[in-house]
Amino acid sequence: MSGLFGRDFLDVADFEAAELRRVLDLAHQIKAGTWSGRPLAGRHIAMLFQRPSHRTRVSFEVGISRLGGATTTLGEQDVQLGVRETVGDAARVLDRYVDGIVARLRTHADLTELADAAEKPVINALTDRSHPCQVLADLVTLEEVGGPLTAQKVVYVGDGNNIATSLIEASARLDFPLTVITPAGYAPDEAVVARARSLSRDGDRVTITSDLSDLDGATAIYTDVWTSMGQESERQSRRKIFAEYQVNPALMAGAPKAVFMHCLPAHRGEEVTDEVIDGPRSVVLQQAGNRLYAQMALMSELFGKGT
């Protein structure tokens, strides 16, 4: 039985480098067709969504099915966490039915409460704080397009949001350089950065700046929406504040060797232009596709009976 069986995956930093490596290696094998186990046979996974989702919901459902398992997907109006019943009560009830929980909750605090109350393993399918499953798929993509992570330099441009947090933790754990460029006042949470710096094995790999000229040596330019789910009332003001941080052909010209990355969905014309997201350097669909393999690998380890 693997050392990851039964564990939660709430953040990238929850796993040591070797544990992340194990998941990434299995994801590559699944994609290559050299591993085709069904460790979820006879197992049932609950998925809870308090936010909309396309990629996450479909890739988890397909992945669970391919691994031999079954799933029940519950939307905002079903369980009504914290409204019809407390997060803890819902977790303890789900424990009686299912073998694992995948949850996209509005707040990270609710997710940790859910995971603390549930004995079954819980996977974070996005919170306001982090999106670790997305970044697992992004790491698979970076390795496919650029080889070893330590030979790459990722530059994230935009809002210091949940994607930025998970990238920062990945950089610290897997020891690749990451520059996060945000407008003043929108930098990632200082506690996230401080923790990543304390985890980093080989010193400080993360640079936080507002300087858009800091693209030297970038092998990937990554952006995400300026207005995340739950921040819709700020969209107009954010459009103005973030305007110069748009990833367009002029910005990409400053990083001639970089691929373009985005977790999707994109707000075209805001954080990225059509020329870039539809252009030859864009790997956004590869990222979306890799959600399936990364999450199959993760679930095999956490929910399965070992690989």
Active site residues: 104, 131, 134, 224, 263, 291
Strand, coil or helix: what is 300?
helix
User: Binding ligand NVA by CB under 6 A: which of 229, 248, 254, 307?
Assistant: 229
Contact of residue 182 among ligand NVA, ligand CP, none (CB under 5-8 Å per partner type)? none
111 contributes a contact to ligand NVA by CB under 6 A: no
Q: Footprint of ligand NVA on residues 30-89 (CB under 6 A)?
A: none
- CA 36 to CA 32: how far, in whole Å? 10
Q: How far is 217 from 187, CA to CA, in rounded Å?
A: 22
Please identify, using beta-carbon distances, which residue of 38 and 106 lies nearer to ligand CP.
Answer: 106
Interacting partner of 161 out of ligand NVA, ligand CP, none (Cβ under 5 to 8 A depending on kind): ligand NVA
Binding-site partner at residue 152 among ligand NVA, ligand CP, none, CB < 5 to 8 Å by type: none
Q: Is 224 in the site for ligand NVA (CB under 6 A)?
A: yes
Residues of this chain that bind ligand CP (CB under 6 A): 53-56, 126, 134, 263-265
Contacts of 148 (CB under 8 A, 6+ apart): none
Q: Which residues of 130-168 are buried (b: 16+ CB within 10 A; e: fewer)?
A: bbbbbbbbbbbbbbebbeebeebbbbbbbbbbbbbbbbb
- Residues 234 to 273: which contact ligand NVA by CB under 6 A? 263
Stretch near ligand NVA under the rule CB under 6 A, chosen from 159-167, 266-274, 275-283, 289-297: 159-167
Q: How far is the CB of 256 from ligand CP (least distance, A)?
A: 27
162 lines the binding site for ligand NVA (CB under 6 A): yes
192 interacts with ligand NVA by CB under 6 A: no
Does position 152 interact with ligand NVA (CB under 6 A)? The reply is no
Shortest reach from residue 189's CB to ligand NVA, in Å: 14
Contact 170, 145 (CB under 8 A): no
Q: Where are the beta strands (DSSP E) in 14-65?
A: 44-49
Partner touching 270 among ligand NVA, ligand CP, none, CB below 5 to 8 Å by kind:
none
Cα separation, 102 vs 124, whole angstroms: 6
From the centroid of its chain, how far is CA 230? 17
Tokens (6 digits) for 155 = 């530059």
- Single out the segment in contact with ligand NVA by CB under 6 A; choices: 92-100, 155-163, 170-178, 209-217: 155-163
- Per the CB < 8 A criterion, the answer to whether 43 and 69 are in contact is yes
User: Which residues share a beta bridge with 122?
Assistant: 101
Interaction between residue 225 and ligand NVA (CB under 6 A): yes
d(CA 50, CA 44): 20
- Binding residues for ligand NVA, rule: CB under 6 A, are 126, 131, 161-163, 224-225, 228-229, 263
